[in-house]
Each structure stands twice: as structure tokens, then as C-alpha cells.
Copies of this chain bind each other. A is one copy, B any other.
Amino acid sequence: MALIVQKFGGTSVGSIERIEQVADKVKKFREAGDDLVVVLSAMSGETNRLLDLAKQISDKPVPRELDVIVSTGEQVTIALLAMALIKRGVPAVSYTGNQVRILTDSAHNKARILQIDDQKIRADLKAGRVVVVAGFQGVDENGSITTLGRGGSDTTGVALAAALKADECQIYTDVDGVYTTDPRVVPQARRLEKITFEEMLEMASLGSKVLQIRSVEFAGKYNVPLRVLHSFKEGPGTLITIDEEESMEQPIISGIAFNRDEAKLTIRGVPDTPGVAFKILGPISASNIEVDMIVQNVAHDNTTDFTFTVHRNEYEAAHKVLENTAREIGAREVIGDTKIAKVSIVGVGMRSHAGVASRMFEALAKETINIQMISTSEIKVSVVIEEKYLELAVRALHTAFELDAPARQGE
């Protein structure tokens, strides 16, 4: 008998019919003997409706009061599901974040969970009840309602699983798992049976938006096994867990991630003096522009070139800041390019395999794709290429790293 936390998102509870379907699914698990805590989002569209009401009063609604309004969305779905379960003869009870008590800090609209009181939930589980908890919300020490920010229901699920030491936290979504890459780009993309937290983080931060990054970090920190599944299709989904190094034949690469949202900026002919990197990036971060990849070439003739990428929306702003900096430090010129894409290979297996990067470069060279920037981490190699080659590059890498194979062994 396992203790499972199941989280269903807004689309999965988007209508009465869907809530009834979720109840059917929960009932099946319950009948299989599992103890269940179900975390729900608001019905899809409801949070936006509530936000819109608040926006009609004020462009900048008071954060504390906004949380009072927005938190009602989940409050409705939890009670509807509890009713649907009881109708099916499954004892159930609903709790808001405050009722559980999910204690957070007071950073309204983007609060962080500090502590979860598991007493009520444990007592209900012991009494044979399914416990239905409102995701995305909590309460601060003054008793004010808080919300975790959009998409925060995943985090509620993981935090509850950690507090309860659950056997698994299941995140139900509109995809049936995590894929080796986007199936719309590579039809041979395969669902992964398993992926590590680190890999998932790299995949997620690179645009594979199956899970909230924060919930994956949280799950990794507390070692909560996470499983991504489809809400209404049967299937094992993808298990996200720690790298147990048990599988001898671990594949080198787990997936190919990519991102079209970046733009590249280069400041050329920078006098190569100590502290120049800070002089360039300081004003950028002071303007609240986030920088992703950073590359500095080796100096020659006492000058160097400095290149970095930003979100495409912030390209114009970053360009302006950089022009100023260039004048101040006596650099030659600023050039930029918005027609780029970033492609990354991700896998914990590359830690113990030499030559992964060169195998990547070789595959791209075979397709005569020029590499503009390279950045590496322990479990990832990213390159920036011309945007028009994106699909070609992803497909070439998917094949080169043997991800096309019909089934993955050794798990």
C-alpha cells in the first residue's frame, strides 16, 4: 500500500465532466489500495477570470487582496472533486491551503512554502479518506491567504509529498511523459521511462515545459520521486528520480532540448583588462535583463570579443545598454543577431563518457551547420546556431545519439 500524491492541473479539472473523470481515476487508485492525497488547480480559465475582475478595479491590485480573490479558484475545484468522490462511495474531504495548514512567507502572489502541517491529512488518511488539497495557495503567519504564483500547484504537490514522505508524486498533464525531444520536430522522439532531476531541470529550463522548474528543484532537494502522466490516457508516464547509477547501460544522452527565444549580442574589440566582464554585464543586470550563455574569446592584440545571449524580448533594451558600455570602456563596436537558436544535448551519462561534445560537433558538421557559440556544463552541451537550421540540427543529434531506437534498454 503506497502513499501517492496526485496533482491535476487546470485543464484536467476544466469542466464538470473532467472532474468526474478525475474522480473515476482517483477511485481506481483508491480501490487498488493506495492512500491518496489529490492536489488540484483551478478550473482552466477561472484564474484569468478572477485576475480580470481584480484588474478592473486596479491595474496594480493590492497583492494581499489579489491572493484572497485568486485562491477561490482552487477552493471551488477541491470541493467539487470531494463531492464527486463521495458520490462514488469514496470517503473524501477537501482542504484549502489555510486549512491544511501550508505555511508560507508573506510574499503575496509569489510566496514560498515554509512548512506543512501533516496532522490533519495523516488522520484523514488513517480514517480511509482521500484528502483533496487546494494547490497554489497557503497562508502566512498572520493568517493572510497567499499564493505561490502561477503554475504553483506542482510545487504544492511536491511539497506535500515531501512532508508526507509519499512514495511518489504524480503530476497529471496533457502529455503522456517526457520525450527525448519535441515530437513535433522529430517524429521518432520517444517517451523516456526515467530521467534524473538534473536532466529534467536542464530540459525544462531549455524549453521543454512539462513541469515547473521550481517543482523539479523542490522534488530533487527532498528526493521526492516525481512521475509525469497523461490525465486521461493510460500509461506509465516518465519517472523523474535521482540518478541511482544502477543501470549499467545508461544512455549517454537523455534528450535534445532547444530554444528559439534568445538573441545574441557581441561587443568587439574590448580592451583586455581585469574586471572588464563585470563592466559589461553589470549594467545589463542593473537593467533587470537576464543573461543566459556567456562566451569570452581568448584575447589577442590586447583586445577581446565578449558575447552573450538574452531573451529575444529584451534584445533592444540590452543593445542600448551595451552601446553605452562600449563607449565608456572604449570597445570597437556592438553587433547583434536575433535569428539564432540554441540546441542542447542533456544527459547525466556524459559525465563518464569522453568525446560527447565532439560527437555533437561532428554530427552538426556533417550537416554543414555552423556553430556560433558553445557552452558546456556537467550534464549538458549547448550550441548556438543560425535559427533556420534548428530542426535539421535537432534531428541530426537525435539520430547521432541513438535516441531514435524504438525502445530503451537497461531500466
Contact = CB atoms under 8 A, between A and B. Distances in A.
Interface of A: 16, 19-20, 50, 53-54, 56-58, 61-62, 64-66, 68-69, 71-72, 75-76, 78-80, 82-84, 86-87, 93-94, 96, 98-99, 120, 143-145
Q: Which of A53, A54, A69, A79 counts the most chain B CB atoms within 10 A?
A: A79
B79 A20 contact: no
The 3 A-B residue pairs with the shortest CB-CB distance, nearest first, are A72-B72, A68-B79, A65-B79
A99 B69 CA distance: 14
Given A57-B84, A65-B79, 9 more contacts: A53-B76, A58-B83, A61-B83, A62-B82, A65-B86, A68-B76, A68-B94, A72-B72, A72-B75
A66 B53 contact: no
A387 to B, nearest CB: 43
Nearest to A23: B57
B57 A19 contact: yes
A90 B75 CA distance: 29
A54 B94 CA distance: 14
30 contacts: A16-B53, A16-B56, A19-B57, A53-B76, A53-B80, A54-B80, A54-B83, A57-B83, A57-B84, A58-B84, A62-B83, A62-B86, A64-B93, A65-B79, A65-B86, A66-B79, A66-B83, A68-B78, A68-B94, A68-B96, A69-B75, A69-B79, A69-B80, A71-B75, A72-B72, A72-B75, A75-B75, A96-B145, A99-B144, A99-B145
A8 to B, nearest CB: 15
B16 A87 contact: no
Contacts of A72: 72, 75-76
A87 B57 contact: yes
A75 B74 CA distance: 13
B69 A76 contact: yes
B57 A16 contact: yes
Contacts of A120: 143
Contacts of A57: 16, 19-20, 80, 83-84, 87
A221 to B, nearest CB: 30
B75 A68 contact: yes
A54 B66 contact: no
Contacts of A50: 76
A78 B72 CA distance: 12
Contacts of A84: 57-58
Given A86-B62, A99-B143, A143-B99, A54 B79 contact: yes
A79 to B, nearest CB: 4
Contacts of A75: 68-69, 71-72, 75
Nearest to A16: B56
A86 B62 CA distance: 8
A183 to B, nearest CB: 35
A219 B409 CA distance: 75
A97 to B, nearest CB: 12
A401 to B, nearest CB: 48
